[in-house]
Chains A and B, each alone.
Chain A
Amino acid sequence: MKYMLLMQFSAAGADFPSIDAWTPQEVQAHIAFMGEVNDKLTAAGEWVDAQGLGGPQQARIVRAGEGGAPVVTEGPFAETKEFLAGFWIVDCDSPERAVELAAYISTAPGPGGRPLNMPIEVHPVMSAPAQELDG
């Protein structure tokens, strides 16, 4: 089963300072941890994809306007409380394992080397039915 793990940052609700206020050692430890996450997932045969996303300043909200022409709202989203910082897609055996992986990612170190315990959303990725549907 595939799961998408979303790392949401909440500008208002975060109980830690943003990364650009950390010390170099703290930043380095955080980056090294993220690298280890990918290595571990790959070694376990569970890694499908992982990407970091550009910050809210680079993000855009797009809707189709008159005649399908794009109407773009540019960042930074002053009113936005949360933004998506990155995601993983993992292929693992059970929902419990997906939760376990999310909890592990959540322990990424922050200021003082303490775990951030940041929220990770776990979404099952929809797939084709494994067998024919009955009646």
Chain B
Amino acid sequence: MLARRFGDFATAEDAVQEALLAAATQWPTEGLPANPRGWLIQVGYRRMIELVRGEQARRRREDLVARRDPDDRQYAPAADEELTAERDDTLVLLMLCCHPALAPTSAVALTLRAVGGLSTAEIARAFLVPEATMAQRISRAKQRIRASGLPFRMPEEAERADRLASVRQVLYLVFTEGHTSTTGPDLRRIDLAVEAIRLTRALHALLPDDSESTGLLALMLLTEARGPARTGPSGELISLADQDRSRWDAAAIAEGTALVTQALPRGPIGPYQVQAAIAALHDEAPSTEQTDWPQILALYEVLERLVGSPVVALNRAVATAMVHGPAAGLAALDALADDPRLAGHHRLPAARAHLHEMAGDREQAIIDYRAAAARTSSLPEQRYLTMRAARLATERVDPS
């Protein structure tokens, strides 16, 4: 019936599936509605409108991309555009799709499907897996939600902060996936980073006063702004220090900086806001030398207190080197050498290599770059690290 009204069977089928999902989660707790069939059609109808809208927005977005205009922000719904009930539905749906009971890969896929309005084929292509695999991943995620008996409604106040944190985590995962799965010659692939920004924009529009969600949007914009300069003509990685900063997206930097500036004083402070503030300092600097490293170091100290991850400690060590010299940075890295969470990780030897190079210890830098190259699971990164080692080895032979 939805298919008849809209003349789009695939979308209608999805809408009905999602209505059934809503029914499976709502009916056991809230009881059978007076008219189940009518209820299903009503929910399916509403979802169908959202899907069709998402589809239209996506087409417009693709047209824009085709015209090489990366600006997608005019298509995020304005805060006052939709009815409150629908807006709440989107948030509830987001929280359901990003539920911590789901494995991250499932949550990511389900969010892109149900909230992002992407087709299963598009999501499959984005993750470089066969469509049947992705279809199964999404359907298992739906089953899992159904089996867990989660209600389709806003979580209790006490639970809401945690659930929102899961939503942000999943959206950030979509964003970082956009940077790691960039192999393969398929030009029709959806840009996951752009998709993540679109969804986070929607989240920010729903919760404009939530400072961490604002921080997450800012972080994505400020990171993505450097995208065009991050790789060379044959896909090779270019380090922050060597990037052509005139190719950074000034509009995205301005927007991201404004967002984080507005979020920080409002509080409570969180890891995404701090990372966005660090990204903003990088983005505003005309060069590595003219970067405000003392401020970045101070922010990494704040971030380390907030999350206590060894990867943050590693970044802090690099910032320490930029402020107090490579010896101080290397000493900070030595303190991390025995951390089991970094064992076998390529980031530690890569950071050490970088600091040894800074200190002029070419031999040790070559050894560490090679060790890092052997450990990374990213091909472009492996090539980058191998090239750094090769360059130093050549300079050693021929100091011209």
Q: Is A104 at the interface (CB under 8 A from chain B)?
A: no
Q: Is B295 at the interface (CB under 8 A from chain A)?
A: no
Q: Is A125 at the interface (CB under 8 A from chain B)?
A: no
Interface-located stretch among A22-30, A64-72, A95-103? A22-30
Beta-carbon contact of A55 and B374 below 8 Å: yes
Q: Is A121 at the interface (CB under 8 A from chain B)?
A: no
In the complex, A28→B185 CA distance in Å?
A: 19
In the complex, A35→B184 CA distance in Å?
A: 10
In the complex, A38→B377 CA distance in Å?
A: 20
Beta-carbon contact of B377 and A58 below 8 Å: yes
Task: Return A25 CB to nearest CB of chain B, in Å.
Answer: 8
Q: Is A42 at the interface (CB under 8 A from chain B)?
A: yes
Beta-carbon contact of A24 and B390 below 8 Å: yes
Q: Is A9 at the interface (CB under 8 A from chain B)?
A: no
Flag A10-43 by CB within 8 Å of B: 1 or 0 each: 0000000001111110111001100100110010
Beta-carbon contact of A57 and B375 below 8 Å: yes
Which residues of the other chain, A, contact B235 by a CB distance below 8 angstroms? 35
Partner of A32 from B234, B377, B386 at Cβ < 8 Å:
B234
How many chain A residues touch B (CB < 8 A): the figure is: 22
Beta-carbon contact of B387 and A27 below 8 Å: yes
Which residues of the other chain, B, contact A24 by a CB distance below 8 angstroms? 387, 390-391, 394
Q: Is B236 at the interface (CB under 8 A from chain A)?
A: yes
Q: Is A112 at the interface (CB under 8 A from chain B)?
A: no
Which of chain A's residues 51-103 have a Cβ closer than 8 Å to chain B? 51-52, 54-55, 57-58
Which residues of the other chain, B, contact A19 by a CB distance below 8 angstroms? 386
Nearest CB in chain B to that of A86: its residue: B379
Task: Return A36 CB to nearest CB of chain B, in Å.
Answer: 10
Beta-carbon contact of B377 and A21 below 8 Å: no
In the complex, A20→B383 CA distance in Å?
A: 10
Pair count A-B, CB < 8 A:
43
Partner of A47 from B185, B375, B394 at Cβ < 8 Å:
B185
Beta-carbon contact of A20 and B377 below 8 Å: no
In the complex, A27→B234 CA distance in Å?
A: 13
Q: Is B79 at the interface (CB under 8 A from chain A)?
A: no
Flag B374-400 by CB within 8 Å of A: 1 or 0 each: 111101001100110111011000000
Task: Return B3 CB to nearest CB of chain A, in Å.
Answer: 34
Which residues of the other chain, B, contact A42 by a CB distance below 8 angstroms? 185
Task: Return A58 CB to nearest CB of chain B, in Å.
Answer: 7
Beta-carbon contact of B394 and A23 below 8 Å: yes
In the complex, A42→B387 CA distance in Å?
A: 27
Beta-carbon contact of B374 and A57 below 8 Å: yes
Q: Is B356 at the interface (CB under 8 A from chain A)?
A: no
In the complex, A88→B391 CA distance in Å?
A: 29
Q: Is B373 at the interface (CB under 8 A from chain A)?
A: yes
Which residues of the other chain, B, contact A31 by a CB distance below 8 angstroms? 234, 236, 383
Which residues of the other chain, B, contact A32 by a CB distance below 8 angstroms? 234
Which residues of the other chain, B, contact A54 by a CB distance below 8 angstroms? 376-377
In the complex, A51→B181 CA distance in Å?
A: 12
Partner of B185 from A20, A38, A55 at Cβ < 8 Å:
A38
Flag A123-134 by CB within 8 Å of B: 1 or 0 each: 000000000000
Nearest CB in chain A to that of B391: its residue: A24
Which residues of the other chain, B, contact A52 by a CB distance below 8 angstroms? 379, 382
Most buried by A among B374, B377, B394: B374
Beta-carbon contact of A35 and B377 below 8 Å: no
Beta-carbon contact of A20 and B391 below 8 Å: no
Which residues of the other chain, A, contact B382 by a CB distance below 8 angstroms? 52
Nearest CB in chain A to that of B373: its residue: A20
Which residues of the other chain, A, contact B370 by a CB distance below 8 angstroms? 20
Beta-carbon contact of B375 and A27 below 8 Å: no
Task: Return B88 CB to nearest CB of chain A, in Å.
Answer: 44
In the complex, A27→B390 CA distance in Å?
A: 8
Beta-carbon contact of A27 and B377 below 8 Å: no
Beta-carbon contact of A23 and B234 below 8 Å: no
In the complex, A52→B7 CA distance in Å?
A: 44
Which positions in B face A, CB cutoff 8 Å?
A: 183, 185, 234-236, 370, 373-377, 379, 382-383, 386-387, 389-391, 393-394
Q: List 26 A-B contacts (CB under 8 A).
A: A19-B386, A20-B373, A20-B389, A20-B390, A21-B393, A23-B393, A24-B387, A24-B390, A24-B391, A26-B390, A27-B383, A27-B386, A27-B387, A28-B387, A31-B234, A31-B236, A32-B234, A35-B235, A38-B185, A39-B185, A47-B185, A51-B183, A54-B376, A57-B375, A58-B375, A58-B377
Of all A-B residue pairs in the complex, the 4 with the closest CB atoms, nearest first, are A24-B390, A20-B370, A57-B374, A24-B391
With A23-B393, A58-B377 known, 4 other A-B pairs at CB within 8 A are A20-B389, A27-B386, A35-B234, A42-B185
